[in-house]
Amino acid sequence: MKLRMKMIYRTSKGAEAEFISDYMPPGIVLLLMEDMQQNGRIPEMEVMDQYETEWTMKELRKYMKELETEPHHVRIHADGGFDKGTGRAGLGCVINYEQNQNEFRIRRNQVMEQLNSNNEAEYAALHFAMRILDEMGVENQEIEVYMDSLTVVNQMAGEWPIYEKDLKYWADKIDDIVKDFGNAVRYVHVDRKKNKEADQLASQALQDIEIDSTKQK
């Protein structure tokens, strides 16, 4: 989740001006709200999330407290490998997150049958990762997704249109999971070298080597 602030600033001589901030993480917004409350120069303030829901300071404090015990600061690396001869795909993902003031890493892979292309395998890998977040109960957060597939990143970010029915099918399934849990996603394209762990997991899946581990850092 990200929030933006709309406020009226009033000087000691009575001059006023309205300001609207960019979207920011909730922890930063709470710090700003508490600081602004102390100086007495902000007579009016609204805090809204990306869905236009208004948040009070009390609600935001409660949310930040609850967040400490739930998975948060979630970062996904996902990759898909495809064997054209067999139609088999290897899906790999690495999920880093924080919970109870500790950091954790999930490494998991899966093999799929009857896919049609490498791009479809990349989409299936992202869907695989999102299903894991569903299992974890990750809600109302901004998730960072890192992939070396420029096609998936740009299409899921809305920068490129999706013409292929197979890819549109996966994109819709991914969006449904994201929306159902009130999450937002920031898609980032990375070099293949920076996605090598997810790539290795996808390759291992094609070799029928199953990986499913969760470790504390």
- DSSP notation for 122-164: HHHHHHHHHHHHHHHT--S-EEEEEES-HHHHHHHTTSS----
Q: Strand pairing of 184-189 and 212-216?
A: unpaired
What is the mean pLDDT for each group of 10 consecutive residues in the chain (217 residues)? Answer: 83 84 84 78 81 87 81 94 94 94 94 94 98 91 94 97 96 94 91 96 97 93
Please give the structure tokens belonging to residue 132. Answer: 């894991």
Whole-number Å distance between alpha carbons of 62 and 64: 6
Coil/strand/helix, residue 41: coil
Q: What is the pTM of this model?
A: 0.75
Nearest to 50 by CA among 137, 114, 129, 141: 141
- Domain 72-216: CATH superfamily is Ribonuclease H-like superfamily/Ribonuclease H (3.30.420.10)
Cα torsion 195, 196, 201, 204: sign: positive
Pinpoint the residues of the chain covered by CATH 3.30.420.10: 72-216
User: What pLDDT, on a 0 to 100 scale, did the predictor assign at position 33?
Assistant: 84
Looking at the DSSP assignment, which residues form a beta bridge with residue 82? 89
Whole-number Å distance between alpha carbons of 65 and 84: 49
User: What pLDDT, on a 0 to 100 scale, did the predictor assign at position 31?
Assistant: 84
Q: Strand pairing of 44-49 and 16-20?
A: unpaired
Whole-number Å distance between alpha carbons of 89 and 82: 4
